Amino acid sequence: MALSFQIESHDGAARCGRLLTPHGEVLTPCFMPVGTRASVKGVTPEQLKAAGATILLANTYHLALRPGDEIIRDLGGLHQFMGWDGPILTDSGGFQVFSLADLRRITDEGVIFRSHIDGQLLELTPAKAVRIQENLGSDIAMCLDECPPADADTIKLRDAVRRTIVWASQCREAHRRADQALLAIVQGGLDLVLRQECAEQMIRMDFPGYALGGFSVGEKPEQMHAVLPQCAAFLPINKPRYLMGVGRPEDIIIAVMAGIDMFDCVLPTRNGRNASAFTRSGTLRLRNASHRRDPRPLEDDCPCYACRRFSRAYLHHLFQVDEMLGPTLLSIHNITYYLRLMAALRDAIQTQRLSSFRQDWFRDAVVSQDP
């Protein structure tokens, strides 16, 4: 099998497990740093491994445009191309249906994008989305789906669910690569009836894992938090559950308690490039003048390269003079922060203290070091 999932411990709905792929093992709950164009911005594969990363995410739409999935295939596949020997998950391009709404047209056959680079047309059908991901050679591929915005009306939301189900069936039929697992995506917005209907249809097709799409697309966090437990419960208990594109630390903690196993988000590197560092007690904004003479590391107990070697004053200086090392160091720290959070969540589940972990985390995070 291309994918195997073993649950080893529970604490309420939360669970710890092992995700086995052709390129290695991933402990869950896990966080996947995002390498949209076959690169986690500003961070090398070696630095990612040192931070604790075990699985990365790459983007089907962007890699199909540049350099092209066939070029990557001919150069040995995505692992060889980007120098990463661990597991890789590729999304299907479904999120770009939401994020590039002004540059695409949806039909029942698929999505036609007008390239954001040069205006050329890219037609993404379910079969083509699968073929691109097979050429990329990722360990985990995703079905093409329609990701509607949070303010979509009932008619549009129901139509997106219908289309997502049809496309999942077509993706499953088109998928041929035996060493790659194809996961389905459940849509339905905040409508629990639609979520359940979509989940039931996907489960009948017997995919090796399931994702919840259509969150973090404009709804309020508390709205997502309210429906996540039930949405997760609609999915099989013995297969991995992936919450796509949701990545604020507080959202991850709540989703883990709801029974989610996998996460991805651009926040660690995007915030790093913008001089913001995640810490246990709040966000540090390194452009602030308060850090100009501060000799402390970002976090005293953080093992990352940035914290072991450099002061807040030095990091402040790098951003003041626009040195490219600043975004790299903060990205390394932020990725390390996220992966340490996931390790702490796994430990809390294994020791049956997840509720107290959540309580302590939210209590401490209220007080920011850098208001």
- Report which of 41, 11, 6, 45 is spatially closest to residue 26, judged by C-alpha positions: 6
Spell 181-205 as b/e; 16+ CB within 10 A means b.
Answer: bbbbbbbbbbbeebbbbbbebbbee
pLDDT at 368 over 50: no
Q: What is the pLDDT of residue 371?
A: 39
pLDDT at 366 over 80: no
- Report which of 289, 299, 295 is spatially closest to residue 334, judged by C-alpha positions: 299
Q: Torsion angle, CA of 174/178/179/181, rounded to 10 degrees?
A: 50
Over the stretch 287-328, which tens digit does the pLDDT of each residue have?
999 999 999 999 999 999 999 999 999 999 999 999 999 999
The tokens describing 18, both together, are 């092992």
Confidence of residue 50 (pLDDT cuts 50, 70, 90): very high
Question: What residue spans in the chain does CATH classification 3.20.20.105 cover?
Answer: 4-265
Q: What is the pTM of this model?
A: 0.96
Over the stretch 160-219, which tens digit does the pLDDT of each residue have?
999 999 999 999 999 999 999 999 999 999 999 999 999 999 999 999 999 999 999 999
As annotated, the active-site residues are: 91, 264
Over the stretch 245-274, which tens digit does the pLDDT of each residue have?
999 999 999 999 999 999 999 999 999 999
Q: What is the pLDDT of residue 95?
A: 83
Query: What totals of helices (H) and strands (E) does the chain contain, helices first?
Result: 15, 16
Top CATH class of 4-265 equals alpha beta
